[in-house]
Amino acid sequence: MKWTANWIASARDFGEVCPVFEKRFQVGKVKRATLYITAMGVYEATLNGRRVGEFLMAPGWTVYEKRQQYQSYDVTALLKPNQENLLRVTVAAGWFDPRLGWDYHRPATDAPRSLIAQLELEAIDSSRTQILTTDETWRVAPGKLTFCSLYDGECYDARRPLRFEKVTVQKLPKRQLIPQEGEPVRALERLKPVRYFTTPAGERVLDFGQNLTGFVSFTVTASAGQRVELSHAEVLDHDGNFYTDNYRSAKAKLEYRCKSGKQTYTPSLTFYGFRYVRIDSFPGEINPDDFTAVAVHSDLKRTGWLSCSNPLLNRLFENIVWGQKGNFLDIPTDCPQRDERLGWTGDAQVFVRTACYQFDVERFFRKWLRDLAADQEPLGRVPAVVPNTIHPFSGGHFAWGDAATIVPWQIYLSYGDKSVLKEQFESMRRWVDYITSVTTTPFLWTGDKDAYGDWLALDNDQDSWKGSSDFDLLASAFYANSTLLVTKAGRVLKKDVAAYEALYRGIVKRFKETFQNFHTQTECAVALYFGLAKEPQKVADQLARLVEENGKKLTTGFVGTPYLLHALSRNGHTDIAYDLLLQENYPSWLYSVRQGATTVWEHWDGLKDDGSFWSAEMNSFNHYAYGSVADWVFGVAAGIEPVECEPGYARVHIAPHPDERLGWLEARVNTKYGRIRSKWEQIEGRVRYEIDTPVPATIVIADRTYEVGPGQYLF
């Protein structure tokens, strides 16, 4: 595809009003019509009044200056041969808004809302291709969408006439334009309200029964100029009133000015994270059936399912799936509702193993990893969020920057294609080199003072966001792990990684000498999981004791939680891992379920036992990080794990770990070779195992190992 089109924008400043570009044209009958298009902003195109494609929030979010996706759509069926055709494109700010993140202006976000498009029309006999491009013959009008932003929502005025005027051709670069790499974002599910009620404060509220990411579509009969105003919220407060403080500065509103008559409106250039909708104004009577919540996310194929005999756990599994849907909207985000919605590297790293079980995320993460590499500094520092919207020099912290090594390795393990390692190897290696260049102690990583630490752990002062685990210990453990992953990736790629192997041996030795006392659950879990404890059994027993002494409850934050159950079950304490999984009192996964959660919370105590909230400052009810527990359920409880020597499930390791407190548990994982299934059931004091494998498998049941070929097995 060669771009001959030019970028165009409105000749004058439309302020906050979104531009609508248009081109009228005639064509004869064509064999095929393809529209190539992208914008500095998110766009929606229609041809002869019909939407072009189903991709929402196109062109998606990338490091725009270096890599901006364009989409191509087959629009043959939308064309009217030998008549006037009308192509219209609305452009809103989307991720080009400098308000995203912490006011870090990038060149792309300061560009005007511009459009580039090329319509290629192939003649019936394929003899020639006519190309129609954005140029000075296009026109533009201030649109009906008078305001549209990710954080604040939108205003749409259905009455507003479109008055078209001249465009200007922009001298904006084109070399960064790349074809679509990720999975398209689409409207994927529709939910009806489960309840319509009036709160004690007199607010009219719809409850969709599920915290989700997307928007509300509604039908209204009105006279021109009447308003529909909606606010969005994830939860109700202690008194049952609508609660939006945790959205911080994000207004998350919708304001619609009606035309006259019956009309349906569906947003498409922004999204909200919500379960409840407050109807602030609405002409006439409210019929809940006139409202539909539309769930919007990257169109990923579901690959993994968990179910068991405990209904609370089943709800948790559902919540984790919804957490992934709601936060996999073109990039992996921390949360979808407040004034953040950013590609936090730490969160992605924490959740990637679970993500790979639940959905096919190979393309999704490979796109994001290219952005990670594109935003990585020459010296290897990885920004805290990708694409970076915080500060040109943010990041470089342990457990966050390590997404550079952990994510590509996991994608390789789960899908088996070594080209991901080939593509990311330089980025992986540079991350490790960066650590080596900044640490204040050779073979350890010390001095990362501004790190996030064991984020939101419960083992520090009440108000502290950072847990009390030792930064140097955790940082050094991640340094070891990232170095190890570079050596593994290097060996897969047949590179000489002798220097990294030596570095790894050095870090392990130094770690074991330096860190022999562990003070927190996270310190123990991380040292055990990464194989760095000098006396692993002693540390595992200490970890088990720490959990027991805390009333069989965890204290871990983002860094320790994903490893906690693994560290226990790998060292003879599977029963304690189950204690944590099945714990129903605060703090625990099932506590949130008992409190009515339909997604995974950012804080263990997002909503406290007494009905009050954790501070509004940092309290998302849709943060996937703690959903990382599902990887233990798939990988240990059901026991399905990919293996390094034959990645992508060309071979599988299946070692289920049942527990008497659960009657049965089943996991299914679809791979490119077929479905793997592992189920166990307690029957009169004995355990019955059913295992299906489409590939050779190593099955470990009650410490006995069976090497089997593809088939169905009963133990």
Per CB under 6 A, residues contacting ligand BGC are 334-335, 340, 344, 346-347, 452, 455, 623
DSSP letter string, 649-684: TTSEEE-----TT-SEEEEEEEETTEEEEEEEEEET
Contact 641, 670 (CB under 8 A): no
State yes or no: cis peptide before 142, omega within 30 of 0. Answer: no
Q: How far, in Å, CA of 223 to CA of 236, rounded?
A: 32
Please state the closest distance from residue 287 (CB atom) to ligand BGC, in A: 37
Contact 441, 495 (CB under 8 A): no
Torsion of CA 622, 624, 625, 628, to 10 degrees: 140
**How many of the other CB atoms lie within 10 Å of CB of 325?**
25
Identity of residue 232: H
Burial class (CB in 10 A: 0-12, 13-18, 19+), 215: buried
Q: How far, in Å, CA of 613 to CA of 634, rounded?
A: 32
Name the token pair of 226.
């009447």
Q: How far, in Å, CA of 400 to CA of 466, rounded?
A: 14
For the chain, the maximum distance between any two Cα atoms, rounded to a whole number of angstroms, is 81
Phi and psi dihedrals of 429, rounded to 5? -65, -40
The answer to whether residue 602 is catalytic is yes
Contact 25, 84 (CB under 8 A): yes
3-state secondary structure of 217: strand
Quick one: 606 or 635, whose CB is closer to ligand BGC? 606
Name the token pair of 329.
């909207």
Quick one: 384 or 421, whose CB is closer to ligand BGC? 384
Please state the closest distance from residue 291 (CB atom) to ligand BGC, in A: 29
Contact 168, 138 (CB under 8 A): no
Catalytic residue of the set 120, 154, 183, 602: 602
Contact 382, 401 (CB under 8 A): yes
| Cα distances (angstroms) measured from residue 652 to each of 45, 219, 359, 693 | 45, 51, 18, 8
Burial class (CB in 10 A: 0-12, 13-18, 19+), 709: exposed
Please state the closest distance from residue 695 (CB atom) to ligand BGC, in A: 36
Quick one: 21 or 601, whose CB is closer to ligand BGC? 601
Please state the closest distance from residue 623 (CB atom) to ligand BGC, in A: 6
Catalytic residue of the set 340, 362, 523, 641: 340
**Short-list 666, 668, 677, 665, CA closest to 710:** 677
Please state the closest distance from residue 336 (CB atom) to ligand BGC, in A: 11
Quick one: 369 or 540, whose CB is closer to ligand BGC? 369
Quick one: 273 or 346, whose CB is closer to ligand BGC? 346
Quick one: 344 or 613, whose CB is closer to ligand BGC? 344
Identity of residue 194: V
Please state the closest distance from residue 635 (CB atom) to ligand BGC, in A: 23
Question: Rg of the chain over CA atoms, in angstroms?
Answer: 27
Please state the closest distance from residue 392 (CB atom) to ligand BGC, in A: 17
Quick one: 322 or 455, whose CB is closer to ligand BGC? 455
Antiparallel, parallel or unpaired: β 153-157 and 253-257? parallel
**Short-list 268, 339, 384, CA closest to 97:** 339
3-state secondary structure of 246: helix
**Short-list 300, 319, 289, CA closest to 191:** 289
Q: Name residue, tokens 């390692």.
A: 421
Quick one: 134 or 405, whose CB is closer to ligand BGC? 405
Q: How far, in Å, CA of 207 to CA of 279, rounded?
A: 11
First and final C-alpha spacing in the chain = 56
Please state the closest distance from residue 249 (CB atom) to ligand BGC, in A: 13
Quick one: 347 or 360, whose CB is closer to ligand BGC? 347
Quick one: 335 or 577, whose CB is closer to ligand BGC? 335
How many contiguous H segments (helices) and E segments (strands) does the chain have?
Answer: 14, 35
Quick one: 101 or 143, whose CB is closer to ligand BGC? 101
Q: Name residue, tokens 């550079």.
A: 404
Quick one: 243 or 344, whose CB is closer to ligand BGC? 344
Please state the closest distance from residue 6 (CB atom) to ligand BGC, in A: 39
Contact 546, 524 (CB under 8 A): yes
Please state the closest distance from residue 387 (CB atom) to ligand BGC, in A: 15
Q: How far, in Å, CA of 337 to CA of 343, rounded?
A: 13
The answer to whether residue 340 is catalytic is yes
Name the token pair of 274.
């919500």
DSSP letter string, 481-507: HHHHHHHHHHHHTT---HHHHHHHHHH
> 78: which DSSP letter?
G
Q: How far, in Å, CA of 497 to CA of 425, rounded?
A: 11
Please state the closest distance from residue 456 (CB atom) to ligand BGC, in A: 8
Name the token pair of 110.
């300061």
**How many of the other CB atoms lie within 10 Å of CB of 662?**
18
Please state the closest distance from residue 634 (CB atom) to ligand BGC, in A: 23
3-state secondary structure of 140: strand
Quick one: 326 or 346, whose CB is closer to ligand BGC? 346
Please state the closest distance from residue 626 (CB atom) to ligand BGC, in A: 11
Residues noted as catalytic: 340, 602
